[in-house]
Structures are given as structure tokens and as C-alpha cells.
């Protein structure tokens, strides 16, 4: 199994449609929202420091994770992790961790910290296991400092 983590481009959007269908079957609409936002140009992850990364097994997209400038934080020094989803058959194999670490590495030249919001306890434990700390801020549940 050859896995590649890379930025999602216009040509890849159709590849995440199957990922979206699977996510929807499991009650998660976040991947479809990413597709809809991309198609409507609401969010194409094209501002300074932003990216939508995918994990591809050959050419099949098995996971995605996005990074935006956090619209709920003042200034442009805070990133926001969003739309993380890994296909169930690929979960608990280190793929999500590798993907988030790649997103954070991408964020380092642009942001001082990255925040996220989750209301899922399993997701919260995952984020905390890779270094995010629980916070009590408006519109964010977790944060990680990425500046030395």
C-alpha cells in the first residue's frame, strides 16, 4: 500500500467525492462541506498559509484535512484545522496523525498556533494525544502552539 500526502488540487475534487459519500454514510458531513465550499469558491484554501491536504492510496483519497486562517481569531497568526476525516478502514493506523502533523508542518511558517473545534469526545482524545490542549475559547475547543 503506497500512501502519499499532498495538497488537493482542482483535479482531485472528484477523488474526494467517494470519501464524502463514505463520510456521509457514517453521519459526517464535513467532507461534503469541503467539496461544496470548494465548488462555490467559499473556501478553496488559497489564502496565505492555507491548504487542503489529502492522503492518497495510489490515486484513491482515503483522508483529508484542511488548514485555514482562523476566522474567529484576531489577526492572521492563528490557523484553524478543519475537515479532518479518515476512511474507517484506514483509521487507527497512524494516517490521521501523520496527516495532522503534515498540516502543522505546513502551518509553521505562517501561524503561531492552530486551533480547532470538536464536539466529539473520541476526536478530542485523538487531538490531545498528538499535542493539542483543551481550551475554553469562543469557537475553539483545542489549540497547539507551533512557533518555537
Cα-based distances in Å from 55 to 70, 120, 141, 145: 23, 22, 25, 24
94 burial (CB, 10 Å; 0-12 / 13-18 / 19+) is exposed
What does the pLDDT look like over 21-38, one tens digit per residue?
888 998 888 899 898 998
Who contacts 114 (Cβ-Cβ below 8 Å, separation ≥6)? 67, 70, 78, 79, 80, 81, 103, 104, 107, 143, 144, 146
For the domain 3-145, what is the CATH code?
A: 3.40.630.30
Rounded to the nearest 5 degrees, what angle is found at the Cα of 49, between the Cα atoms of 72 and 59?
110
How does DSSP assign 58-95, residue by residue? TTEEEEEEEEEE-TTSSTTSEEEEEEEEE-GGGTTSSH
Which pTM was predicted? 0.92
What does the pLDDT look like over 27-70, one tens digit per residue?
888 899 898 998 898 898 999 999 999 999 988 899 999 999 99
What does the pLDDT look like over 82-126, one tens digit per residue?
999 999 889 999 999 999 999 999 999 999 999 999 999 999 999
Residue ranges of the domains in the chain? 3-145
Q: Which residues pair with 137 in a beta bridge?
A: 140
Amino acid at each position: 500500500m503506497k500512501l502519499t500526502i499532498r495538497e488537493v488540487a482542482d483535479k482531485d475534487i472528484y477523488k474526494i467525492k467517494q470519501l464524502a459519500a463514505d463520510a456521509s454514510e457514517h453521519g459526517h458531513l464535513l467532507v461534503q462541506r469541503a467539496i461544496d465550499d470548494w465548488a462555490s469558491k467559499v473556501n478553496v484554501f488559497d489564502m496565505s498559509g492555507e491548504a487542503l491536504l489529502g492522503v492518497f492510496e495510489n490515486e484513491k483519497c482515503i483522508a483529508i484535512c484542511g488548514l485555514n486562517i482562523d476566522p474567529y481569531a484576531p489577526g492572521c497568526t492563528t490557523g484553524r484545522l478543519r475537515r479532518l476525516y479518515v476512511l474507517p478502514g484506514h483509521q487507527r493506523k497512524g494516517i490521521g496523525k501523520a496527516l495532522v502533523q503534515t498540516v502543522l508542518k505546513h502551518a509553521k511558517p505562517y501561524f503561531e498556533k492552530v486551533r480547532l473545534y470538536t464536539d466529539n469526545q473520541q476526536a478530542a482524545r485523538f487531538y490531545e494525544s498528538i499535542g493539542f490542549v483543551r481550551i475554553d475559547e469562543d469557537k475553539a475547543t483545542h489549540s497547539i502552539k507551533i512557533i518555537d
